[in-house]
């Protein structure tokens, strides 16, 4: 299993656009599920910090997200927005889960 958490902070004026870009990725994933992957996104109470989780059954499945054009468009737009805090990735070491991938 491979799991990663990505955290970043956007400028206040970019929050709504970032949410819209994330939704495009999620809509694509709902219509075209990647078997063995669970991807989710959250915003913290400060209203500007976003957290994404990607949990996949293996490295190959994990990397399939990079083949999704909407995901690549989202990443490009985020970079161009010059976030306050650039995306920071953290690998997560699996302990246990209440779901099956």
Q: pLDDT (tens digit, 9 = 90+) per residue, 25-77?
A: 999 999 999 999 999 999 999 999 999 999 999 999 999 999 999 999 999 99
| Res. 99: pLDDT tops 80 | no
**What is the reported pLDDT for 69?**
96
Domains of the chain: 2-92 (3.30.70.100)
What does the alpha-carbon distance between residue 81 and residue 57 come to, in Å, rounded to a whole number?
32
Question: Which parts of the chain fold into alpha helices (H)?
Answer: 15-31, 59-63, 69-80
Is the Cβ–Cβ distance between 2 and 21 less than 8 Å?
no
Q: Under a CB-based contact definition with an 8 Å cutoff, are residues 71 and 65 in contact?
A: yes
Per-residue pLDDT at 98 exceeds 90: no
For 74-92, the pLDDT digits (tens) are 999 999 999 999 999 999 9
Nearest residue to 72 (alpha-carbon basis) of 84, 64, 60: 64
Question: Model pTM?
Answer: 0.93
Measured in whole angstroms, the distance separating CA 76 from the mean position of its chain's CA atoms is 13
């Amino acid at each position: 299993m491979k799991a990663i958490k990505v955290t970043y902070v956007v400028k206040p004026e970019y929050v709504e656009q970032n949410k819209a870009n994330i939704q495009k990725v999620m809509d694509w994933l709902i219509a075209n599920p990647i078997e063995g992957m669970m991807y989710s996104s959250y915003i913290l109470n400060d209203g500007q910090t976003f957290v994404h989780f990607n949990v996949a059954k293996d490295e190959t499945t994990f990397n399939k997200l990079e083949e999704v054009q909407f995901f690549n468009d989202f990443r490009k737009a985020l970079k161009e927005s010059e976030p306050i805090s650039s995306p920071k990735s953290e690998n997560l070491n699996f302990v246990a889960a209440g779901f099956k991938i």
